[in-house]
Amino acid sequence: MSPTQHPILPGRGMLLAGCAAALTFLAGCAQTGPSAPMAAAPRAGGAAQLQEVARFDHQVTGVTVSPAGRVFVNFPRWSDDAPVSVAEVMPDGTTRPFPSAEWNAWRNARKDQMTAADHFVCVQSVVVDHQGFLWALDAAAPAQGPVVPMGPKLVKIDLASNQVVKTIAFDEKIAPNGSYLNDVRFSPDGRTGYITDSGAKGAIVVVDLVQGSARRVLDGDPSTQVDKTVNVKADGQVLRRPDGRGVEFSADGIALSADGAMLYWQAIKGKTLYRVPTRALTDMAAQSRLPSMVEKVGDNGPVDGILFGRDGRLFLTSPEDDSVKVRDAAGSVRMLVQSPSLRWPDTLSQAPDGSVYVTSSRIQDMSWYKPSSPASLPTTLFKIVNP
């Protein structure tokens, strides 16, 4: 389908300009203390525009764009038994199972007849790394329920051959029942992955991609847990299920500085952005001191996805007000685009041309919160042009 422009509220589509050049962001990351700045580069003139890329019949969460411009999304099987978990979005907006129909053959209804280790069970995130490989993060917890045994994993796909080349399985020490492996970032050298667990007990999972091993860190640390003082709202009201439960996602959005030196994260049921030096995550001698090395960067309010653009700006998806925002060098959070079409903006990815792709997962419209809603929730993929 041809791209469709969506409304942006007047006066709120412009990004704060005149900040320091992008390279100063790297210097900022090397500073210590909560006040260490994140520099933002000025962008070309012109207001950001939100354009529709594709529509889906099922609930989408993750999106990633390869260096060649190929676009991939995932469907996590939250409220329905979606027929595809990972898909490539074609230029005409249609999708195809990726890397194959067989990898996507799992169904909740057929779980007793299928092996979880070599099928996508409940993929929550797809990310292309710095080396051009696509990784699919499988939480293996459909509907955020019990973890399917042998299901949690990271799957590495070679985009040159469209073949799976490596699978890193996570046992119950890394993905225990109640966990929900949510999003992932990769070090520039391709040796380390960092995963947020947004489940009942938040944590960061550090993955040695070469050895195929993993560790849970900051497991239960206040920085990775829900903030009990925060209630996530949608349409101006606290979002709750009919039984009274609210939004309870722990550490969720995750971002890595351009040089790989600092890891950032935030809970959805939270307002505070945290960071820690990645050297502290990978240095075994520093593990006992790790909680003391976590820094509070500042408050964003509830956000879902976070992403550092290539110029050093930090993009934030804000589900409470249907917007994508930018955190500037002074710590101010400012609107980039806002539209009623962005129902729960979820995950972000930057394309080679600089545009920023964002999924609208419509979590507030799910049957979990609105029992009259269909199980199969139609969702949309957008891109922000001239961000």
Is the N-terminal amide bond of 99 cis, ω within 30° of 0? yes
Q: What percent of the chain has pLDDT over 70?
A: 88
CB 74 within 8 A of CB 86: yes
How far apart are alpha carbons 18 and 195 in whole angstroms?
33
Q: What pLDDT, on the 0 to 100 scale, is given for residue 45?
A: 53
Output Rg (C-alpha) for the chain, integer angstroms: 19
Q: Which of 133-142, 172-181, 306-315 has the lowest mean pLDDT?
A: 306-315
Q: How far is Cα of residue 188 from the mean position of the Cα atoms in its chain?
A: 18
Q: Which residues pair with 207 in a beta bridge?
A: 193, 214
CA distance 125 to 198: 12
Task: List, for residues 273-296, the tens digit of each pLDDT value.
Answer: 999 999 999 999 999 999 999 999
**Whole-number Å distance between alpha carbons of 323 and 335:** 7
Q: What is the pLDDT of residue 10?
A: 34
The CATH code belonging to domain 4-385 is 2.120.10.30
The answer to whether the beta carbons of residues 29 and 20 sit under 8 Å apart is no
How many CB atoms neighbour CB 159 within 10 A?
Answer: 19
pTM over 0.85: yes
What residue type is 51 in one-letter code?
Answer: Q
CA distance linking residue 52 with residue 380, whole number of Å: 7
Which DSSP category does 125 fall into? E
Cα–Cα–Cα angle for 199, 129, 89, nearest 5°? Answer: 85
Asked whether residue 311 carries a pLDDT value surpassing 90, the answer given is: no
Instruction: Annotate 144-185 with DSSP letters as a single string.
Output: G-SPPTT--EEEEEETTTTEEEEEEE--TTTS-TT--EEEEE
Q: H or E element: which one contains 4?
A: strand 4-6
How many DSSP H helices and E strands does the chain contain? Answer: 3, 27
Domain locations in the chain as residue ranges: 4-385
pLDDT per residue as tens digits for the range 215-239: 999 999 999 999 999 999 999 999 9
The count of residues in the chain is 387
Task: Indicate whether 33 pLDDT > 50.
Answer: no
Tell me: pLDDT of 14 over 50: no
Beta bridge partners of 227: none
pLDDT of residue 172: 97
Specify the range with the lowest mean pLDDT, choosing from 14-28, 31-45, 85-99, 124-138.
14-28
170 has a pLDDT exceeding 50: yes
pLDDT, tens only, 342-383: 999 999 999 999 999 999 999 999 999 999 999 999 999 999
Task: Give the lowest-confidence range in 120-134, 168-182, 210-224, 330-344.
Answer: 330-344
Please provide the average confidence, as pLDDT, over all residues in the chain: 90
Does the pLDDT at position 44 exceed 80? no
The predicted-structure confidence for 107-161, as pLDDT tens digits, reads as follows 999 999 999 999 999 999 999 999 999 999 999 999 999 999 999 999 999 999 9
pLDDT at 183: 98
